[in-house]
Amino acid sequence: MTDSKYFTTTKKGEIFELKSELNNDKKEKKKEAVKKVIASMTVGKDVSALFPDVVNCMQTDNLELKKLVYLYLMNYAKSQPDMAIMAVNTFVKDCEDPNPLIRALAVRTMGCIRVDKITEYLCEPLRKCLKDEDPYVRKTAAVCVAKLYDINSSMVEDQGFLDQLKDLLSDSNPMVVANAVAALSEINESSSSGSPLVEMTPQTVNKLLTALNECTEWGQVFILDSLANYSPRDEREAQSTCERITPRLAHANAAVVLSAVKVLMKFMEMLPSDSEFVTSLTKKLAPPLVTLLSSEPEVQYVALRNINLIVQKRPDILKHEMKVFFVKYNDPIYVKLEKLDIMIRLASQANVAQVLSELKEYATEVDVDFVRKAVRAIGRCAIKVEQSAERCVSTLLDLIQTKVNYVVQEAIVVIKDIFRKYPNKYESIISTLCENLDTLDEPEARASMIWIIGEYAERIDNADELLESFLEGFADENSQVQLQLLTAIVKLFLKRPSDTQELVQQVLSLATQDSDNPDLRDRGFIYWRLLSTDPAAAKEVVLAEKPLISEETDLLEPTLLDELICHISSLASVYHKPPSAFVEGRAGIRKSLPASARAGSEGVESTESQAAPAVIPAQDSLIGDLLSMDIGGPTVAPVAAAPAAPFGSAAMDLLGGGLDTLLGETSSSPAPPSALAASSAALLGDIFGAPAASATYVAPKTTWLPAEKGKGLDISGSFVRRNGQLFMDLTFSNKAMQPMLGFAIQFNKNSFGITPASPLQVQSPLPPGVAADASLPLATTGPVQKMEPLTTLQVAVKNNVDVMYFACQIPMHALFVEDGQMDKRVFLATWKEIPAQNEVQYTITNVMHSADTVVSRMQQNNVFTIAKRNVEGQDMLYQSLKLTNGIWVLNELKIQPGNPNITLSLKSRTPNVAEGVFQAYDNILHG
Amino acid sequence: MIHSLFIINPSGDVFMEKHWKSVISRSVCDYFFDHQRKASSPEDIPPVIATPHHYLISVYRSSMFFVAVCTTEVAPLFVVEFLHRVVDTFEDYFSECTESIIKEHYVVVYELLDEMLDNGFPLATESNILKELIKPPNILRTIANTVTGKSNVSSTLPSGQLSNIPWRRTGVKYTNNEAYFDMIEEVDAIIDKSGSTVCAEIQGYIDCCIKLSGMPDLSLSFVNPRLFDDVSFHPCVRFKRWESERVLSFIPPDGNFRLMSYHIGSQSIVAIPVYVRHSLCLRESGSGGRLDITLGPKQTLGRTIENVVLEIPMPKSVLNCGLVTNQGKYTFDPVSKLLVWEVGRIDVTKLPNIRGTVTNCHFSALYF
């Protein structure tokens, strides 16, 4: 006797038959009939017509029958709301039943009936059940609150169910706690406000941690997930929480393990990375992750996607586990592809030989996608581990010899990247590549090949013929290939102008006249104009030195990575997208990693606010700058230098020629320029005829923060005054291995009330090995506090890595304001007024200037000469200056012709500025 | 959380659906079918599929797809683990889990699913508790029920459900008290052409069958527990005791369960019990190739090796194999291109060998 008999039908019609059976007096018959109804329902047949007959069977002592009717109700109540009311009485009665199983069943089913009228009746029984003496009923009721919230959220709030639910968090039974946590987090997720309903206090966390040890595996997942939303107050709490969670790593349920990993990864951020605890925790994390890879393929896939994130965040955890990521012949393809990704991430000098021999095997497999990715991986290996480049190139050459079409094309694409990374090293293989020209039919491979030809046109004798052959079908090419071809031919022309003039004219006319693609036309026009007006400039632009491509081409952006680390084990971690990007109607609370304890509390907020606006306003101001540059003449100098970094990258977009296509086509490589940035900015300046900077003395940049103290960030800088505005010119060099972003700057209170006038705008992200300039306008309206020495400025610079502190000296001359010229009489009166003890003397040694030079030099730096006298063959200069804070300084200089020493007497009401002023004189006159 | 479940057979029929919240039309499975068409084999369908409004998380077991539909951000592993648990439960109930078995027991399956999940939250997944709530069907009970009018559904709350040991039911009584432990170790190794081991690791399990009365408290100790790189335990194992003394101390569930699984990784040396000497040449003269494989024992610690099966996935170009074995039988499936040689016992005096020719399709045949 099996259930399949429920599907046998008679001629009369199934529904009719069932109806009569349901109304049969015999219990057994009824039960059988309901079973038949359920069976039809499970396969998707519509049996809603039987609603009244089924509901009639509800009043019964037989639990199985009751359950079956309930199952039916859950499915169809929504379509028959009026009829569903008939069931209410039974539900209410069942909620009072002495048997806890029946009470729970009733409250559970009622929650599943998504009919508004029923929910009204549900409130009272639910309230009772939430306080039921039996934990089984309580835990069912907890879930029921979540169901009710989904149907009618305002009612749940009005009736105070949320508070009752929160009370359950401290229930004595761990299962009840777990379900309450699950219900609360689901309510949280769907609530429109998006703000957490439950403030996680250390007390709640403690309760949850206690329940964690005793509840079911699923409950553990819920509890761990909600713990991940908690930010411990300090290092100690983070560490003790980690300690209590670590045992979960040995759970048999993969979901528990991964949720535990999430919490640990997040809390570890708060602990000093060099502490013993973190080191031992890092060691403990590896084995469970490896074990996940021995589970079912579906689990492996999710684990691998998460490991991908973990490896990017903390490469140390799995650096010795390379072998477990080797592909097995029977892995499903989705697992294979993920494993390849991780192999590349873990590749290092130590294991590259092994990795390479594996990859070579993979490249001979049958699955096309997998082979392609393997070939690409070989290229990435070469770029990542320099020592292996040679071997990788020869492996790729071997693969090209196989003449398998897609292998060849993929190999050419990656060889192009290798050329970019190691210029002038492997060009000997170009001839082999050229042999395969005809077989290339994919745009990316064609574009790469054309780039190679253009880049090395001077070494390829028949480069013009090769490019010409591509030109024949120009109109049919993919736009990527067209752009590349245009640039390559211009490159060729610049290198061999004599015999390729015709070719370049042909391509320019094709690009500008026959094409509908605006990108292509614009680029064509720019090249054309550059070539016709100034070939030298064209050469500098088109053949400019290319920035290095970064090693890891598809690293996630660090802020996104940090956000995703908070979402380990969730769907977001599988898609590598923040949940706000794909979950419908989700209120956008973005999670972020807790700042390391040392970074202080203000760290987190400023990341969010600073990171975003860094780029966009820069572009706006850039347009303004370009305009003012054209028109404004003399005002140019300060602005042109100010946004140097963003400026450069935009210039690249316009003029970078081959570069941006290349960047575009290896869309994964974010390799932003910076070496080039400065040069092309300067170049543009030349083009538009910007005047040379004025002769204001600018102290050479000094290193303020060496890389070893700045976690890989090296900052050097100086202070300058441009057009009455004080600037802090900074150079940020990223000497770490990862891109940096989210830069922000703050000053401590200082003697002159100096404070940033606008947010720091620096190229972000800043790729490894790249230096970017930034100019920060300063205001002097900040809070004042006297420093020792007076000119000290304490600066805090923050990026995604950490907050760095350093102190620098503001050269006093930068603080001399433009209106520092005193009236002669006022000068005299003031000089007399200031008591003699305020006079300080100083000798400036080794100055070979005449008095006139001194006057003009000082004038340029806002030190104004009031009077000049010649007394006994000595030149006496009387100069005045005013500091940003309104302090006047009066000076008398004695210059004897032939004597390299100048005597300086200074009078000021606040003589402690003297030291700085002397320093300024010294610098200006020697500079 | 889990919104709905669809069970789909390899030919693409949804033969079972269960909704825990509102009803989702089964047309959502079309997205799954799209991926199914693209995949070259059923194993290759990605486990997580995004559709415009839903997320489909699937597992492939016993040639059926169990597709869970979710609408919000969930932990995919949570769903995957749950689906595997569902299949495990079916296997436990019906001794195997196939399409026909599920169809045969629709109502029980439906009741089970309803008991396991409530509003997307797992409710009772321990087979001990489920079996108390819903009795597994067997012929004897079906007959008895028909006679007495009893049902398979229990009307009392399972006693273990809320205790601190939810995995064990109370009042267990056996006349013969016995406990069996199976140690299963899988060695996964990648061995290169020359026969040297690229990597090898052991995934081990301890499966138990415990039939003891009352509330037995057991402990199990190992000779050398340091070997384990990573362990995961059944919830019944007291973790603290393991951490401090390396002893497994536990109150076992009643019946069959997996006590522990462990992993011995690439760091330690893994003994591989057999070696394979091969000479395989697929394209020697025209369309023919040669294959010659010999198996031999290696590091067996004096034990004989039994039940050896050798599987060789052949390249797609292979049409057929004409082989001779000196021991055991071989089969070649021309569809999956899988060559299976059931060797049996390895006799040290006469090493098992398989040799012969493989037929390739011509290259020219590929083009015309």
Q: Which of A274-283, A556-565, A823-832, B345-354 has the lowest mean pLDDT?
A: A823-832
Partner B contacted by A359 (CB < 8 A)? no
pLDDT at A590 (0 to 100): 64
Q: How does residue A679 score in pLDDT terms, banded at 50, 70 and 90?
A: very low
**Residues of A whose CB is below 8 A from B149:** 27-28
Partner B contacted by A251 (CB < 8 A)? yes
Distance between CA atoms of residues A514 and A503, nearest Å: 16
pLDDT tens figures, A398-419: 888 888 888 999 999 999 888 8
Of B57, B84, B233, the CB nearest to A250: B233
pLDDT tens figures, A803-827: 888 888 888 888 888 888 888 878 8
Say whether A326 and B190 touch across the interface (CB within 8 A): yes
Least Cα separation, residue B95 to chain A (angstroms): 15
Of the candidates A559, A466, A609, A563, the residue with the CA atom closest to the CA atom of residue A800: A559
Other Cβ atoms less than 10 A from the Cβ of A402: the count is 12
pLDDT tens figures, A621-659: 333 333 333 333 333 333 333 333 333 333 333 333 443
Averaged pLDDT for residues A240-246: 91
Least Cα separation, residue A122 to chain B (angstroms): 16
Beta-bridge partner residues of A893? A877, A904
**Residues of B whose CB is below 8 A from A303:** 77
Of the candidates A216, A140, A134, A223, the residue with the CA atom closest to the CA atom of residue B125: A216
Say whether A114 and B22 touch across the interface (CB within 8 A): yes
DSSP string of B68-104? EEE-S---HHHHHHHHHHHHHHHHHHHSS--HHHHHH
Of the candidates A146, A142, A152, A103, the residue with the CA atom closest to the CA atom of residue A125: A103
Other Cβ atoms less than 10 A from the Cβ of B170: the count is 13
pLDDT at A7 (0 to 100): 59
Interface with A, mutate which of B20, B232, B266, B310 (most A CBs under 10 A): B232
pLDDT at A470 (0 to 100): 85
Do the beta carbons of residue B182 and residue B206 sit within 8 Å? Answer: yes
- DSSP state letter for B222: -
Distance between CA atoms of residues B230 and A287, nearest Å: 5
- Tokens representing A238 are 């983070």
pLDDT at A551 (0 to 100): 64
Least Cα separation, residue A699 to chain B (angstroms): 55
Say whether B17 and A78 touch across the interface (CB within 8 A): no
Q: How many CB pairs under 8 A join A and B?
A: 256
Of B47, B142, B258, the CB nearest to A301: B47
Give the chain B residue whose CA is nearest to the CA of A99: B156
- Tokens representing A644 are 């140097």
Say whether B232 and A287 touch across the interface (CB within 8 A): no
Distances in whole angstroms, Cα of residue A394 to Cα of each of A355, A360, A379, A400: 15, 11, 11, 10
Least Cα separation, residue A556 to chain B (angstroms): 21
Distances in whole angstroms, Cα of residue A454 to Cα of each of A75, A109, A486, A500, A675: 67, 72, 10, 12, 22
Averaged pLDDT for residues A535-547: 83
Distance between CA atoms of residues A748 and A750, nearest Å: 6
Say whether B74 and A182 touch across the interface (CB within 8 A): no
Q: Which of A239-253, A380-394, A672-686, B117-131 has the lowest mean pLDDT?
A: A672-686
- Tokens representing B100 are 């026909």
Q: Which residue reads 């013929």 in tokens?
A: A465
**Residues of A whose CB is below 8 A from B84:** 296
Give yes or no for residue A723 having a pLDDT over 50: yes
Q: Where does residue A695 rank: exposed (0-12), middle (13-18), buried (19+ CB within 10 A)?
A: exposed
Averaged pLDDT for residues A718-734: 84
Partner B contacted by A324 (CB < 8 A)? yes
Estimate to the nearest angstrom the gap between the alpha carbon of A403 and the chain centroid.
40
**Residues of B whose CB is below 8 A from A4:** 103-104, 106
- Tokens representing A678 are 């400065």
Of the candidates A632, A676, A647, the residue with the CA atom closest to the CA atom of residue A542: A676
Of the candidates A291, A383, A292, the residue with the CA atom closest to the CA atom of residue A345: A383
**Residues of A whose CB is below 8 A from B13:** none
Calculate the CA dihedral of residues A640, A643, A649, A652 and round it to 10 degrees.
-10
**Residues of A whose CB is below 8 A from B38:** none
**Residues of A whose CB is below 8 A from B240:** 247
Q: Which of A70-79, A137-146, A194-203 has the lowest mean pLDDT?
A: A194-203
pLDDT, greater one: A588 or A458: A458
The parts of chain B modelled with pLDDT lower than 50 are: 364-368
Q: Which residue reads 């992200």 in tokens?
A: A765
Distances in whole angstroms, Cα of residue A417 to Cα of each of A371, A447, A462, B120: 18, 12, 23, 48
Given phi > 0 = left and psi -120 to 50 = alpha, else beta, which region is A892? Answer: beta
Of the candidates A716, A718, A722, A717, the residue with the CA atom closest to the CA atom of residue A693: A722
**Residues of A whose CB is below 8 A from B76:** 302, 569-571, 574
Interface with B, mutate which of A114, A212, A253 (most B CBs under 10 A): A253
Distance between CA atoms of residues A72 and A42, nearest Å: 10
Q: Which of A197-201, A610-614, B311-315, B337-341 has the lowest mean pLDDT?
A: A610-614
Distance between CA atoms of residues B174 and A750, nearest Å: 84
